[in-house]
Amino acid sequence: MKVLLKSGDILELEENSPAYEAAKKIGMGLYKSACAVRINGEAQDLRAELREDDKIEFLTFEDKGGRHAYNHTAAHVFAQAVKRLYPAAKLAIGPAVKDGFYYDVDVEKPFTSDELVKLESEMKKIIKENLPIERFELSERDALALMEEQGEIYKAELIKEHSGKGEKISFYKQGEFTDLCAGPHLMSTGALKAIKLTQATGAYWRGDARNAMLCRVYGLAFPKQSLLDEHLAMLEEAKKRDHRKLGKELELFAFMEAGPGLPFFLPKGMVLRNALLEFWRKKHVEAGYDEIATPIILNRTLWENSGHWEHYKDNMYTTTVEDQEFALKPMNCPGSLLIFNNKLRSYRDLPVRMAELGTVHRREASGTLHGLLRVRSFTQDDAHIYVTREQIKGEIKGVVNLIDEFYRTFGFEYHVELSTRPENSMGSDEDWEAATSGLRESLDELGLNYVTNEGDGAFYGPKIDFHIEDSLGRTWQCGTVQLDFQMPQRFGANYIGADGEKYRPVMLHRVVLGSIERFIGILTEHFAGAFPVWLAPVQVRVLPISEKFLDYARSVEEKLRAAGIRAETDERGEKIGYKIREAQMQKIPYFVLVGEKEQGEGNISVRRRNSQETAAYSVSEFIAQVREAVESRKISD
């Protein structure tokens, strides 16, 4: 039989050969490194049988699908180790995640660090045993009976929840251990090489505080010990850069018991935030956007019309006012459409670009909250662009170029992903095809490399996502462009064409930074709190050598402030060495030292935060240097 490879080459194999035989035939290097295979677009085990004309693509640890299979296998090895050492434990879920896996376990008391060491040791034994991993299927009835017989109450609950479809349910077996799982997995436990259990925390079953508290164990898995060591070193560096820690030390933001998941921005944090938004506004004016603001709370009728009430209600905060239901907005788009419809539009008006720094609220489970990176209230740098069908590609290119300019300003590399129609979507096949083609053709014409995520679009349209890479090599999804034929139709949006007839505009949803709060969290970790001069809450700290020179220090600060530079004087009666260390810990870009010599000559001595050298400047020379760094938005000092 013949199968088609991703490269376009045709490979001949024996009838019904397993996928790993195809990998062997291509080369032993691929056979050893392959973790899974994608057959006709679906990720499967390497033991999966191939059929005539199948399209196949092998997935290694470097691929998202391959890494998923690798990490998921490690999760099963962990669960097997748990059942060996703690037979009474009940297993919940154990998914692969981006950088490893976690497994939720119901045990009498949470695992200690010593117990994690024992579990890790048992995992290594299982890996050494090189147990074959086999997939099998059972009917719903038999699957439920098996899990109930084993006392796995959480697995049984999952099966009951999805019963009634008449579909077979898949399991994976390795040695004496069997787990409910859709796969795919590696071919044996011995294919795992380097593993590490990192921490144990608490997690409610299904993320619901009304359910049992489980013990969640996180782990890592890599094909080489050197890769694991590099990742652990990165995690240590990430701890030092944790925006929650730096936010407290640098007095940027805080979280209070009065509002879980709702950030409080402190004065210095507001300076940073406003500098960022000032840049955002400048660039949007240059790009032809008009800024708008829409109400934070709107009635149920609006959200039913937009489709959010049906598709997103569980994530919305609702209330009743005078017997009418309202919701805090989780998204800004419906309000933008109301403004578009507020007056009659002509084809000459299009494209209409409306930008909004809109604060939204979403009901996030408490267990998912994480500093500024996952909050319940945040501000999106939203924009909605209304175009004719002929303008789609031109506007998408304009958005992509704007996003590129922003990310280059902060020194971010990024990659692009195209997400297509999900199962739970609204709209016609024709509209979805037109929208998806518009995004794909725009990316192709721009010459951008991108990955396609089938079925991962928004419920109202396909999207392009931009994933930035920070200084530690971590990626974050920030910018997005979504093409929407549905919302304008639901809201009856129209414009008058050249022939005097009414036409429906196409709506582009887009963000550049995403959530302002989240982006500030990312920037804090990316720069380790040492923000570029133009963003730094305090750009210059003036340090008098002693109290004798305090008046001169104040006069220098006054000149700096008059020039628009954010400066402050350390007026404490501490020794100069202590003041310098304090300024360094606050990651202030410039320290200005003034003493007898500086006062006598009417100049200043300047030290940069990343240098031990001090240089003499006139105040005017220094002002020019700082202003040049601010205006050019230099990334480094």
Of the listed 76, 376, 384, 579, which one is catalytic? 384
Is 384 in the active site? Answer: yes
SS3 sequence of 603-627: CEEEEECCCCCEEEECHHHHHHHHH
Per the CB < 8 A criterion, the answer to whether 562 and 225 are in contact is: no
- Residue 179 is among the residues annotated as catalytic for this protein: no
3-class SS of residue 599:
helix
- The whole-angstrom separation of Cα 364 and Cα 367 is 8
Catalytic site includes residue 599: no
Burial degree of 14 (CB within 10 A; 0-12, 13-18, 19+): exposed
Task: Please tell me the distance from the alpha carbon of residue 144 to that of residue 367, in angstroms, as a whole number.
Answer: 29
d(CA 470, CA 250): 20
| Spatial distance between the Cα atoms of 269 and 496, rounded to a whole number of angstroms | 46
Cα(610)–Cα(169) distance, integer angstroms: 59
Task: Yes or no: say if 369 and 375 are a contact pair by the CB < 8 Å rule.
Answer: yes
H/E element, 122: helix 113-129
User: Catalytic annotation on 463?
Assistant: yes
Q: Measure CA 232 to chain center.
A: 20
* Whether residue 362 lies in the annotated active site: yes
Burial string for 89-121 (b: 16+ CB within 10 Å, else e) reads bbbbbbebeebbbbbbbbbeeebeeebbeebbe
Rg (CA), the chain: 29
Least Cα distance to 152 among 90, 82, 77 occurs for: 90
388 φ/ψ angles, rounded to the nearest 5 degrees:
-80, 165
**Of residues 342, 340, 331, the one with CA closest to residue 298:** 331
184 prior amide bond cis, ω within 30: yes
8-state DSSP, 527: T
231 is catalytic: no
Burial 408-422 (b: 16+ CB within 10 A, else e): eebebebebbbbbbe
Q: What share of the chain is helix, strand, coil (3-state, %, to 5)?
A: 40, 30, 30
State how far the Cα of 62 lies from the Cα of 33, in Å rounded to an integer.
Answer: 9
Joined together, the tokens standing for residue 424 give: 């739970």
Q: Find out whether 353 and 503 touch, Cβ atoms under 8 Å.
A: no
Output phi, psi for 192, to 5 deg. Answer: -75, 145
Which residue of the set 463, 541, 566, 609 is catalytic?
463
What order of strands is seen across the sheet that includes strand 297-299? 297-299, 324-328, 318-321
Of 509, 541, 566, 607, catalytic: 509
Least Cα distance to 363 among 318, 395, 299 occurs for 318
Q: Which of 45, 54, 382, 431 is catalytic?
A: 382
Catalytic residue selected from 268, 361, 362, 526 = 362
Q: Is 215 a catalytic residue?
A: no
CA 384 – CA 402 distance, rounded (Å): 14
Concatenating the DSSP letter of every residue in 50-93 gives: P-TT-EEEEEETTSHHHHHHHHHHHHHHHHHHHHHH-TT-EE--
**Alpha-carbon distances, residue 212 vs 92, 107, 112, 158, 330 (angstroms):** 11, 11, 19, 15, 29
Q: Which residues are catalytic?
A: 333, 362, 380, 382, 384, 463, 509
